[in-house]
Amino acid sequence: MRITIIGSGNVATHLAAALKNAGHKIVQVYSPNYQNASLLAYHVGADAISDFSAINGANTDLFIMSVKDDAIADACQKLAIHQKIIAHTSGATALLPGVNMGVFYPLQTFSKTKELDFSQVPLCIEGSDDQTTETLEQLAHTVSKNVYRVSSDQRKILHLAAVFACNFPNALYAVAQGLLAEYQLDFNMLRPLILETAEKVQQNLPATVQTGPAVRRDEKTMQYHLNLLNHRPELQDIYRSLSQQIIKMDNALKGDE
Amino acid sequence: MRITIIGSGNVATHLAAALKNAGHKIVQVYSPNYQNASLLAYHVGADAISDFSAINGANTDLFIMSVKDDAIADACQKLAIHQKIIAHTSGATALLPGVNMGVFYPLQTFSKTKELDFSQVPLCIEGSDDQTTETLEQLAHTVSKNVYRVSSDQRKILHLAAVFACNFPNALYAVAQGLLAEYQLDFNMLRPLILETAEKVQQNLPATVQTGPAVRRDEKTMQYHLNLLNHRPELQDIYRSLSQQIIKMDNALKGDE
């Protein structure tokens, strides 16, 4: 397919590279910042543009819009005149009204500096009509083994769940790193544990492999930990609420609720 | 070395196997449950015992005690008559008083059903005297590349940090899985994201790779997520406190505090 990329952020960068590697033609990369557009365009053999009026709608089959959530509606309105498929990549934004509208949402965390295997990235597809959905689904299969049809309502839940499964665990890694630093301990000591914890749930359901003082109802250790955090009341709150959540989920798992 | 294993849980199982693979002789495995002792003893070519008086102190150099925290002091007292090194494997328990006392704490989460590369497991060593410390440290180097001397005070912080880096992220994975299940969505969709989040911090400090609505100060999305959780006030509390923590850490990173 001939594809135009609107945006030059982390998602646009990884997606454009994966699409090019799969044999598609990236025709243009648009970013309001010409330097950003150029950098990505160069990598994927496309033309860089920073002016919306320079978009060549006749020479493309599909616009992939990877811009900030609050810029999606406006960009979409400007692109509609070209009468091609317009797909956004946002987890939090509903399918836009109109014809030829779609969603191409990669459920992954991307950094420009870290390579990753795109074929494992789950792609969530939605379209305003069957033909759009099928076109996007076929395109998705060319770059990933994990393609799902997901409604806007389901996608909002996925996006929320991703905050719990990615953003919040990373915040807790940062809390742990800060505690170690306070006592001159090396974060390398925790890195294998973090990785193993994530690897464990690749085969198991998380509730079934929960470990630690809360799931053991080890009140003595929990109280001791809370005492260690006396100087950090905000971390005591997090410790208490997550420990309560662990006990609640464990009770549910055991059928006590 | 000739090593006696007291206990037959996850830590005892992985540690005994790693020690045997490194060429040490596991002489006896003790568990009050004879069947558990037998199972582990069989795997490591040792004798199984379920009676403390059957422990052959003359035929061992070292007791590794991997029992519940509140059973450590009692077991240690019974073993002291043999006048050999006694090392416990607990993150939350201080070095025991007395001579030949040690700590051999593997900072990892173990499941009996999941293999893992023990050479990557950080081992935290402490001894009541230099000779004990050195003996345990040399032993540790035979099974792991990551050996650290860690005081009891530091170890307590490590144990607390491990709750934040392992137990709590796993609880959040379980929360995410539960949200997906409520909407008939497959947990497989989140597994690559969970793994990538943990892999990202193997090279980076977590605060520097934080993503999501909180670090972007995207109030609209956060409010939307809180609305989606109206039926789960306990998850709203967790969402709010972790989002506040992300903003606080990001401000600290940027030097605004």
Whether residue B34 has pLDDT greater than 60: yes
Which residue's entry shows tokens 């009676």?
A: B51
Write the DSSP string, A46-106. Answer: -EEE--GGG--GGG-SEEEE---GGGHHHHHHHHGGG-SEEEE--SSSPPPSSSSEEEEEE
A15: tokens are 């997606």
Q: Which pLDDT score is estimated for B115?
A: 83
Whether residue B257 has pLDDT greater than 90: no
Which residue's entry shows tokens 């990615």?
A: A166
CB contact under 8 Å between A162 and B171, yes or no, is no
CB contact under 8 Å between B234 and A214, yes or no, is no
| B111 near A CB under 8 A | yes
Q: What is the percentage of chain A residues whose pLDDT exceeds 90?
A: 93
Whether residue A226 has pLDDT greater than 80: yes
Closest CA to A44 of A72, A69, A68, A64: A64
CB contact under 8 Å between B245 and A224, yes or no, is no
A173: tokens are 């890694």
- The span from the CA of A74 to the CA of B166, in Å, is 42
Q: How confident is the model at residue B113 (pLDDT cuts 50, 70, 90)?
A: confident
* Chain A contact probe: residue of B151, B154, B166, B208 with most A CBs at under 10 A: B166
CB contact under 8 Å between B248 and A234, yes or no, is yes
Q: How confident is the model at residue B110 (pLDDT cuts 50, 70, 90)?
A: confident
pLDDT digits 0-9 by tens, B182-229? 999 999 999 999 999 999 999 999 999 999 999 999 999 999 999 999
Smallest CA–CA distance from A184 into chain B, residue: B154
Whether residue A204 has pLDDT greater than 60: yes
Degrees to nearest 5, angle at CA A102 with A101 and A106: 160
| B154 near A CB under 8 A | yes
Between these two residues, B110 and B80, which has the higher pLDDT value?
B80
| A248 near B CB under 8 A | yes
| B169 near A CB under 8 A | yes
Instruction: Taking residues A135-159, report their average pLDDT.
Output: 96
Q: How confident is the model at residue A256 (pLDDT cuts 50, 70, 90)?
A: low
Q: How confident is the model at residue A61 (pLDDT cuts 50, 70, 90)?
A: very high
User: For chains A and B, what is the number of CB pairs under 8 angstroms?
Assistant: 318
pLDDT digits 0-9 by tens, B226-255? 999 999 999 999 999 999 999 999 999 998
Scanning B4-63 for CB atoms below 8 A from A yields none
| A181 near B CB under 8 A | no
pLDDT digits 0-9 by tens, A183-196? 999 999 999 999 99
